[in-house]
Amino acid sequence: MKETFYDMIKSFDWNEMTKSIYAKTQYDVQRALSKKYLDIEDFKALISPQGENYLEEMAVRSRDITQKRFGKVMQFYIPMYLSNECSNHCIYCGFNHNNKISRLTLSDEQILEEIKAIKQMGYDNVLLLTGENHKNAGVSYIENAISLCRPYFSAINLEVFPMQIEEYERLIKAGANSVYVYQETYNENRYKYYHSKGMKSNFEYRLATPERLAMAGIHKIGMGALIGLEEWRTEMLFLAMHLGFMRKNYWKTKYSISFPRMRPAAGGFEADYCVNEKQFAQIIWAFRLFDNDVEITMSTRERPEMRNHFVSLGITSMSAGSRTEPGGYSNPDVELEQFHVNDDRSVEEMERMVRSQDYDVVFKDWDKILS
């Protein structure tokens, strides 16, 4: 039987891994920066406290690698929330089952209204999101939503609850191009604290989701962790290990990573491990040097000035004009959001900003003809 990522990491102690990062020296960082191809020990050095002394060199290399691999292009995408109904009890999420908020799952007519509003913004690339509610927004509901979107978008991406291989095969057949699934935290000992009830409380099942996606034949897999729950350096180490595992074992698939930072949301959860913008930059540049070809996304969770600065420094895609509530584009007055956005600029404003840095803006991911 093929080794899984869980098989690979289950014997690793979180605290010992943290110590191994903090033990890295300036010489380890210099050695990592002198290499063309980095291993996991090099990655540890880049995200270590010593790595903070080499951010300028990391930034320059990140910019050069990104322009070489992706060109001077920024891809825009937009999230469309289909439902905020959720059976999970994630203590940090605005959609938490226990939160007393209004719940909505879009009807076919409401989905088409959202599509119309998003198309008017110029998009040809959409990300469909739901909470985890198998009764009102299960696999068949998502499959139908993809079918409604398919005539209007070249790329349809999903950020939904983990599924079985055959369920993913259904959604791929319906028109899904990529699926994003974030582990939230790789600390198994603490995972249950954040996810006490619901399907999401199963650490091992969620961890294996990228593997099931790859076996189903998805074009691209998005991976990541929620920054703020646990010690960020250790969290990023496990994410890098996960990415490396997937690259080695499922090399036909494309990969994207994202590092969403905690934002205010219903429920009032406060993060214990805050990451400042300097450290956030260190994460992005370490991943770019570790994996030259991975796509890196920055969402509207980050403030405008931060997003402006990173157009040329390692990011390959950004959301713009985002709403995080079901029906938010066709009905801007609705208040059902998952979290508060930090950059509320319009698509037009974002496009002007990117083009002012001599970068092109792309509103689509890929053409159906390429599949």
Lowest mean pLDDT among 72-81, 164-173, 192-201: 192-201
The pLDDT score that the predictor gives to residue 86 is 85
- Bridge partner list, 156: 126
The pLDDT score that the predictor gives to residue 264 is 52
Residue spans per domain, the chain? 5-370
Rounded Cα–Cα distance for residues 243 and 237 (Å): 10
Q: Is 297 helix (H, G, I), strand (E, B) or coil?
A: strand
Asked if the model's pLDDT at residue 267 lies above 60, the reply is no
Mean per-residue pLDDT for 107-128? Answer: 95
Mean per-residue pLDDT for 41-62? Answer: 98
The pLDDT score that the predictor gives to residue 131 is 85
Residue-wise pLDDT for 148-185, tens only, equals 999 999 999 999 999 999 999 999 999 999 999 999 99
Asked if the model's pLDDT at residue 231 lies above 80, the reply is yes
- Residue 178 buriedness (CB in 10 A; 0-12 / 13-18 / 19+): buried
The rounded Cα 140 to chain-centroid distance in angstroms is: 24
With bands split at pLDDT 50, 70 and 90, how would you rate the model's confidence at 250?
very high
Asked if the model's pLDDT at residue 92 lies above 90, the reply is no
Q: What b/e sequence results for 43-74 when a residue is b if at least 16 CB atoms lie within 10 Å of its CB, and e otherwise?
A: bbbbbbebbeebbeebbebbbebbeeebeeeb
Residue-wise pLDDT for 118-133, tens only, equals 999 999 999 999 988 8
What class, spelled out in words, does domain 5-370 have in CATH? alpha beta
If one compares 213 and 96, the residue with the highest pLDDT of the two is: 213
Q: Is 156 helix (H, G, I), strand (E, B) or coil?
A: strand
With bands split at pLDDT 50, 70 and 90, how would you rate the model's confidence at 334?
low
Q: What are the structure tokens assigned to 333, written together?
A: 């007055």
Could you list the beta-strand ranges (E) of the chain.
73-81, 125-129, 155-159, 178-180, 220-224, 254-258, 295-298, 317-319, 360-362
With bands split at pLDDT 50, 70 and 90, how would you rate the model's confidence at 322?
confident
Whether the CA torsion 56, 57, 61, 64 is positive or negative: it is: positive
The pLDDT score that the predictor gives to residue 369 is 46
178-180 vs 155-159, strand pairing mode: parallel
Instruction: Count Cα atoms within 13 angstroms, Cβ side, for 336.
Output: 22
Q: What is the mean pLDDT of the chain?
A: 91
- Identify which of 40, 93, 130, 63 has the alpha carbon closest to the alpha carbon of residue 296: 63
The per-residue DSSP string of 25-67 comes to: -HHHHHHHHH-SS--HHHHHHHHSGGGGGGHHHHHHHHHHHHH
If one compares 270 and 62, the residue with the highest pLDDT of the two is: 62
Percent of the chain surpassing pLDDT 90: 74
If one compares 275 and 208, the residue with the highest pLDDT of the two is: 208
Asked if the model's pLDDT at residue 323 lies above 50, the reply is yes
Q: What b/e sequence results for 247-267 when a residue is b if at least 16 CB atoms lie within 10 Å of its CB, and e otherwise?
A: eebbeebbbbbbbbbbbebbb
The pLDDT score that the predictor gives to residue 152 is 95
The rounded Cα 284 to chain-centroid distance in angstroms is: 13
